Amino acid sequence: MDWTQATAPDAADIEAMALAAIAALPDEFRLPARGVALQVEDFASEELLDELDIEDPFELTGLYDGIPLIEKSVSDQPHRPDAIWLFRRPILDEWIQRGDVTLAELVGHVVVHELAHHFGWSDSDIATIDEWWT
């Protein structure tokens, strides 16, 4: 490969990997997971990092923003869709540091972890979908 022409995966590449991870979910979760908005940014905003008391922006690879399904009520008035935020630069940094997984595997792991918040999955639920969890 001619590395002089290579570029880092961009937001669209990370999003494509996340969508592939969602498409690979078990049938009962695939369709509801597609109802969660997916956003890819280079880093979390300073405001979000401050809110979460995170000093190093490389520490946050993903975030679920919404109300978990197990806490929702039919009387809730949604003010915005549930969303999963993926932070490209921290994901790339972790991928490089690990050196033992593909980027698609890491993105899939982050997506499953954030979907766990949405679905209200237990650790054992996550382990049936993401073998890293065991």
| pLDDT tens-digit series, residues 1-48 | 677 888 889 999 999 999 999 999 988 889 889 989 999 999 999 999
Query: Is 8-65+80-133 a domain of CATH 3.30.2010.20?
Result: yes
- Mean pLDDT, rounded, for 78-88: 88
Q: Which residue has the tokens 């995170």?
A: 54
71 to 39, 74, 106, 120, 125: CA distances (angstroms): 23, 10, 28, 9, 17
Residue 103's identity, in one-letter code, is L
